[in-house]
Structure formats: C-alpha cells, structure tokens
Amino acid sequence: MATARLTTTLCGLSLPSPVLAASGTFGYGVEFENLVDWRWIGGFVVKGLSREPIAGNPPPRLWETASGMINSVGLQNIGVRAFVRDKLPGIRRLGVAAFANVFGYCVDDYLEVLRVLEDAEGLAGYELNVSCPNTRHGGIYFSSDPGLLANLVAAARRVARRPLIVKLSPNVASIAPLAKAAEESGADALSLINTLIALAVDARSRRPRLGAGFGGLSGPAIKPVALRFVWEAVQAVRVPVVGIGGIASGEDAAEFLVAGARAVEVGTANFWDPNATARIARQLDRFLAGQGVRHVSEIVGTLRLEPNRDEQENCHNR
C-alpha cells in the first residue's frame, strides 16, 4: 500500500500516489491486471482512443536507440465504442483512477469520442492528445498552433464534465503560448511531454528502421528536454502540470516534481518492466524518506532556476 507520504490531489481527484502510467505504454490497463502492484499506482492513462478503429502503421514499429526507443505504432486502437463495451468493465474492477486518452484529426473527432465516453461510467477524466494534424486546416498540428489548440480545448470543455488534461508536444519553438492557450480555454491540467519526432536509419540498406519512416523518440534520452519543458510550462500557467519523459526511477520522478510537476507519468519503462510504475512509486517513497521529506508536496516546485539571460543567450549561440 502506498504510504500517506505519497498521497496527492490532481484535478480535484484524490490519488494514492503521484505516479501514473502513461498512455500508449500501458495498453487499456486490464492487460496489466496480474502484473502490477496496483496499491502503489496513482492511476493510468489508456492508449489513445479514436471515433473509429485504427489499424496503425506498417511494421517494424519499434526501434531501440541509445538510452531510448523510437515508436511508430500509429495510434492503433479498437475505437471508442469497442473500448466502452469490451475494456471499460474490466477497468472499473481495477478500482484505480483511469484516464481516457482522446485524439482525432478534426475537432468533431475529439468531440464524438468524448460524447461516447461521457455516457459511460468508470473513468476519472480525459487526456487530450493534441499532437495530431488538423486535416481540415491543411494538416497544421493542434499542438503547434495556439489558436487551433484553444478552439479544440474550448470545444472539448463544453462536452466534458470530467477533468480535462491536455497533453502537449515538445515539437514546438516555445511551450508557454500553447500552455496558456490550453489553460485559458478550460484545461484542468497539462501533461508533457509527448514524444520527439525522430528518424532511425539503416546505413547498409539506406532505408529507415521503421516501416512508416519517422517515429516518436521516448525514454531516458529525452528526460533533460522534458524537464526543461515542464519547468517552462509551470512558469506559464496555474493549473497542475503532469511531467512525462524518460522517468525510469523514483529519483527521476522526484526531479520532475522539484521542477514543478504535481504528478508524473511513466511511459517507456513499462516496455521493459511491466511493474515499472509501481516500482518507481516505491522508489520515490524511499527517496523522500531518505531526504527527511514528510509529504511529497514539500518538494513540488522547489527548483530555483534563475539563469543569467546574457549567459544563456551566449550558450545557445555557441
């Protein structure tokens, strides 16, 4: 059982731990039923749901990199109606906070998924995956345009009664305008980062390593980038921020909390250790105890980062 030291609140929800499992790495949750020590997990996010089933990208879909992984699964999923019918009853039996990750290629796609989920019981909230191209606006990504993002979040807010978390992409020049747009349009929280666009090449065949060419880089290699984005988002908004990116240990999780995140999501680590989310929560508890911290909230946002802007500019130009 998670200790009282780890209890937290996210979007008005009381959670036993600030450590959750991230979308795309934890299936629909029910597949992990007998693999995970659920007593330590704060919650989980199911893999992305669309209005219709999606078969995903051609194989190969995964490629291991130095300290990370590139995936090109292609948002494969069974569709929201099959999810409600076949997966949600099992999720309810788990007794753990479950968030539905929702995506689409136009605003109507997102809203239809949300409407179906709103009529079902057993979910704690939603996480909007906005790292998709808006096909009705020339393929511009929701995650890179504050106006498109604001319109999407505002429309979703009108439909969703449950808490609404917006998952932001790192594939942008600046995260602050997007974080603010999501907050001002009704997001209850932000989660970041999603994967970094990446490419793996086979020099012998002169072909990409993945069937779809490009993929999303995740794992320990992206943790420093994720920490930077989380810190910048925390400075820009007042809603809670959930940190994601390369978390493989309890101390990794603590770094995100120190940077200002209220909770974290564990992703790629679940691929090599199905019990990673629970393990990391236990490690975080031991780390806090070793630091003499009575409650996890005591370390949230304690990072003091005041860079000299002249030095920072010079560094960036080297």
132 is catalytic: yes
Alpha carbon of 15 to those of 10, 12, 105, 219, 270: distances in Å?
7, 9, 32, 25, 20
- Say how many C-beta atoms besides its own lie within 10 A of residue 304's C-beta: 6
The runs of H, that is alpha helices, within the chain are: 80-82, 88-94, 107-118, 146-159, 176-184, 223-236, 250-258, 269-272, 276-290, 309-316
Name the 3-class secondary structure at 27: coil
CA pair distance 170, 180, nearest whole angstrom: 15
Name the 3-class secondary structure at 296: helix
Q: Six-digit token pair at 25?
A: 């790495």
Q: Are 112 and 51 in contact (CB under 8 A)?
A: yes
CA pair distance 169, 151, nearest whole angstrom: 17
CA pair distance 88, 271, nearest whole angstrom: 22
Catalytic residue selected from 11, 106, 132, 315: 132
What kind and span of H or E run contains 83?
A: none
Q: Are 191 and 178 in contact (CB under 8 A)?
A: no
User: In 67-83, which positions are buried (b, 16+ CB within 10 angstroms) versus exposed (e)?
Assistant: ebbbbbbebebbbbbeb
Amino acid occupying residue 23: S
Active site (catalytic) residues: 132
